[in-house]
Homo-oligomer: A and B are copies of this chain.
Amino acid sequence: MINVAVLGYGTVGSGVVEVIETNKKDIERKIGASIEVKYILDLRDFPGDPYESKVIHDYDQIINDPDISIVCETMGGLEPAYTFTQKALSKGISVCTSNKELVAAHGPELIHLAQSNKCNYMFEASVGGGIPIIRPMNSALTAEHIDSVMGILNGTTNYILTRMDEDGADFADALKEAQDLGYAEKDPTADVEGYDISRKIAILSSLVCGHYVNYEDIYTEGITRITADDIKYARKMGKTIKLLAISSENEDGYFAMVAPFLVGREHPLYMVREAFNAIFIHGNTLDDTMYYGRGAGKLPTASAVVADVVDCARHIGKCITILWDDEKVQLTDADKYKCSYFVRVSADNRDKAEAAFEITDTVDAGVDGEFAFVTEVMDNTAFEAAAVKCGGVITRIRMI
């Protein structure tokens, strides 16, 4: 019998209970033992909830119960999640989490603590919601030298960009629609400014190199400046705009960035619509692989947490290999990242732009008073210098 405690009875936590109850037969077949949610820790009471009797308020009751072998930490935020996780792991209780903030901030330390206590710290749900991505990286792509990761890692912004692309909506209207549908929070800053994604790509980058990539070091640009006119140009070019997280190895080390990119119709990421996510991983012998699915949402995220529970249940007393130490990675300078740029300037500055940039293509999307073009491949330092020479740009979007 595997006894589980769920910390935090919010969206994901209640999803974990629901997935375990709904799929109990499948899960027990896969574990080879029965499974039970014994406790649900929350500050609140839930009168009338079918699992009301399992709700407790004292964490010590969980870690002092020798029956508990696995804890699901679905509280989010750094504290008290961090302290609770440390306490459980110190006692040899495995922790499965959806908490990307905590994993991005203290992943290596918590993995080490788990290993020292012959238990596991698992975080499949922290990146890509229900998409299996952490487990494929740790246990499937093991014959590869992974040299780049690129993905759509946030459902909210992808929903907004899909609405802008398909309906010609402006950012503000698309955001409002996303909020009305529950895809975006009242304060959407963490999503639309890319902060959520920077934590996720920090975790993936860390797993690629095995060391610690700090999300605060990652150049991050959100989607708040994308306009309906940008989308018009994108469509004219047969492309769409996606907020991408990219991470790659180069001759000087590792690089990571979060920014809007123009993605062409021939690229598999083009068709990732609405609240779906997808992650591209490139290996030196495998070439491209992609993992696609629901990057957020109660049940998909909970399913990923419960998959970690199954893995922990199959490995009681044994450590699952996760290579991630606390050696800090110095990321290479984002200004050196090379790509083509799509650029819009005032029509008055056309001559200057033609002198300042090597232009490979021009685009006419019927927007008056503008000159729009695609540059050669260049780094951001060179781009900024040229932009000054042509009297400033209306917008610039990177291209993959």
A303 near B144: Cβ-Cβ < 8 Å: yes
Binds B, one of A226-234, A288-296, A358-366: A288-296
> Which residues does chain B contribute within 8 Å of A30, judged by CB atoms?
142, 321, 323
CA–CA, A30 and B273, complex, Å: 35
A143 near B303: Cβ-Cβ < 8 Å: yes
**Known contacts A19-B143, A19-B285, A291-B292; 8 further A-B pairs (Cβ under 8 A):** A15-B285, A23-B145, A26-B145, A130-B287, A141-B307, A286-B303, A289-B294, A290-B292
Q: How far is the CB of A124 from chain B (nearest CB, A)?
A: 7
B284 near A300: Cβ-Cβ < 8 Å: no
User: Which of A20-66 touch B at CB < 8 Å?
Assistant: 20, 22-23, 26-27, 29-30, 32
CA–CA, A278 and B273, complex, Å: 17
Point out the residue from B130, B273, B286, B314 that lies within 8 Å of A300, measured CB to CB: B286
Please give the count of copies of this chain that the complex contains.
2
B286 near A294: Cβ-Cβ < 8 Å: yes
> Which residues does chain B contribute within 8 Å of A310, judged by CB atoms?
142-143
A140 within 8 A of B: yes
Of A131, A142, A284, the most chain B CB neighbours within 10 A belong to A142
Q: How far is the CB of A78 from chain B (nearest CB, A)?
A: 26
Q: How far is the CB of A21 from chain B (nearest CB, A)?
A: 11
CA–CA, A131 and B314, complex, Å: 24
> Which residues does chain B contribute within 8 Å of A268, judged by CB atoms?
268, 271-272, 292
CA–CA, A388 and B136, complex, Å: 50
> Which residues does chain B contribute within 8 Å of A210, judged by CB atoms?
29
> Which residues does chain B contribute within 8 Å of A307, judged by CB atoms?
140-144
Point out the residue from B20, B143, B294 that lies within 8 Å of A309, measured CB to CB: B143
A287 near B271: Cβ-Cβ < 8 Å: no
The chain A residues found within 8 Å of chain B, CB to CB, are: 15, 18-20, 22-23, 26-27, 29-30, 32, 124, 130-132, 135-136, 139-145, 210, 266, 268, 270-273, 278, 283-294, 299-300, 302-307, 309-311, 314, 321, 323
Q: How far is the CB of A306 from chain B (nearest CB, A)?
A: 3
CA–CA, A145 and B19, complex, Å: 10
Provide a sorted-by-A list of 18 A–B residue pairs whose CB atoms are within 8 angstroms.
A23-B284, A23-B285, A26-B144, A130-B287, A132-B140, A132-B141, A132-B289, A135-B136, A136-B140, A139-B311, A140-B307, A143-B303, A143-B305, A143-B306, A286-B294, A289-B293, A290-B291, A290-B293
Q: How far is the CB of A207 from chain B (nearest CB, A)?
A: 11
> Which residues does chain B contribute within 8 Å of A142, judged by CB atoms?
27, 30, 306-307, 310-311
> Which residues does chain B contribute within 8 Å of A145, judged by CB atoms?
22-23, 26
